[in-house]
Amino acid sequence: MKIKEYRSQFIQELLPIYDEGEAESFFYLILEEKRQLKRIDLALDPQLVFLNEEITLWNSILEQLKLEIPIQYLLGKTSFYGLEFEVNDDVLIPRPETEELVEWIIQSTMSEVTNTKRNVLDIGTGSGCIAISLAKAIPNAKVYAIDVSEKALAIAKRNAVLNQVNVTFITQNILETEDLNRQFDIIVSNPPYVRNLEKQEIKKNVLDNEPHLALFVEDDDALIFYKKIAALAQKNLSDKGQLFFEINQYLGKDMVALLEKMNFKNIELRKDIYGNDRMIRGTI
């Protein structure tokens, strides 16, 4: 079958679930991964064909997409901040909003002397996307990353090798940690922050496939991770050290109040590209 003909069939079968643009983007992502062909290649040679075994593979992927399994898990990888990361259902798929958080942290270090050594800690690292991006972008950074999940850390370690950076990974339950045992210039965390009451807002492909351990908190203690990490930051941030969080869009004011109560200075709440309160910074 001609690839161009299969493309039309592929998109048509996904239309009840996805819009046409998204279905088309899936087709070209898979085409590049499985055949190393881009959209322009197909345009230049519309006579390109799939072999029977290729159609079998594509049909299998198509059926999984119909079940709303994320394309990133099916391909086993995703892009984040210009880098490639391995992902599977042991880790969250990195979001564009988190790229904004990484950009903010990097920009906050630009005015510092470039030969200054910085200790950076990422709490709840998952795939390692924040820690690895910071290690890649910040000169002389010594980056540490904590996660409670051994399976997530195994992926993060492979991603560090893939992106040729050194990150020290630590298996640790942050809620059971009393001291981080060293000083850091930057502490960042994108912890679980979705309340159970907000589950109805979560898309089926996320709810059914991504790890709930990394997503959800109890309604009556939604800031549990933020309280703990901020308390550790009080002990373990260096003078003028910075604490960065990605946050629940509905709890921006609560987060400002929390950091004010804990005597953080220069507190700044920022919105993401969608206009939602999404990240916050405070200094010691």
Q: What pLDDT does residue 114 have?
A: 60
**Cα separation of 75 and 86, whole Å?**
9
Q: What pLDDT does residue 175 have?
A: 95
Residue-wise pLDDT for 181-197, tens only, equals 999 999 999 999 988 88
- What does the block give as tokens for 91? 């880790």
Q: What pLDDT does residue 117 have?
A: 87
Q: What pLDDT does residue 199 have?
A: 83
Residue-wise pLDDT for 42-55, tens only, equals 999 999 999 999 99
Terminal C-alpha separation, the chain? 63
Rounded to two decimals, the pTM is 0.92
Q: What pLDDT does residue 112 have?
A: 64
Q: How many CB atoms lie within 10 A of CB 234?
A: 13
The DSSP string of 126-194 is: TTSHHHHHHHHHSTTEEEEEEES-HHHHHHHHHHHHHTT--EEEEE--GGG-S--SS-EEEEEE----E
pLDDT lower than 50: segments of the chain: none
Instruction: Estimate the crossing angle of helix 20-35 against helix 3-14, to 10 degrees.
Output: 140
Question: Helix, strand or coil for residue 122?
Answer: strand
The DSSP string of 231-267 is: HHHHHHEEEEEEEEEE--GGGHHHHHHHHHHTT-EEE
Q: What pLDDT does residue 21 have?
A: 95
Radius of gyration of the chain (CA): 21
Q: Which CATH number fits domain 89-283: 1.10.540.10, 3.30.360.10, 3.40.50.10470, 3.40.50.150?
A: 3.40.50.150
